[in-house]
Amino acid sequence: MNKEDHQLARKLLTTYLTGTQLSTIHLASFVSLDFINLYDAMNPEISLRIETDRLYYGDVESSKDWVVRHMTKEEMLHLIVTLHTERITGVRIGKTIPHLFLTFSSGKTLVVNGSDTYYESWTVDLRLNAEATASIVAVPGDELAVFASDNALFQDRVTD
């Protein structure tokens, strides 16, 4: 995985997703989640598009044998709806495989599989305004791609 893309993605996701909570669920051939930060009016519009059916939800820190597994659409929706009142307290991306780890206020972590041979497993879109946009995508081949506008507004708020 490209080290620079991984670092930029980690910084963007940590800066903007931490403190948010689920606000809207959209269903299509994929699941799209919109997030809101009730405590930061400057936070961008954030959406997570999940195109994989392989997820894990639980305690990844103390459990060494956790594994992402296939979930039915009904199981995914039930899990996602139960998360709507929780805030995201931590975000990370796997080092060798771009699994997305979202830790919630309950202490449990949602892991979205980032590994697929043929399709993009997940995408996070950030939009501060019409000029400042970024997309972080788990692409086929266990890679991560970051597409960001040249606008410096993101860089002003991103922390190390």
Query: What's the Rg (C-alpha) of the chain?
Result: 15
Name, in order, each residue with C-beta under 8 angstroms of 116's C-beta and a sequence gap of 6 or more: 52, 138, 140
- Mean pLDDT (whole number) for 93-107: 95
Residue 90 has pLDDT above 70, yes or no: yes
Residue 26 vs residue 131, higher pLDDT: 26
Residue 153 has a pLDDT of: 52
**Where does residue 11 rank: exposed (0-12), middle (13-18), buried (19+ CB within 10 A)?**
middle
Enumerate the domain spans of the chain: 3-148
pTM of the model: 0.90
Express each pLDDT in 59-73 by its tens digit: 988 777 788 899 998
Bridge partners, 137 (sequence order): 123, 145
Residue 154 has pLDDT above 80, yes or no: no
Count of C-beta atoms within a 10 Å radius of residue 147:
12
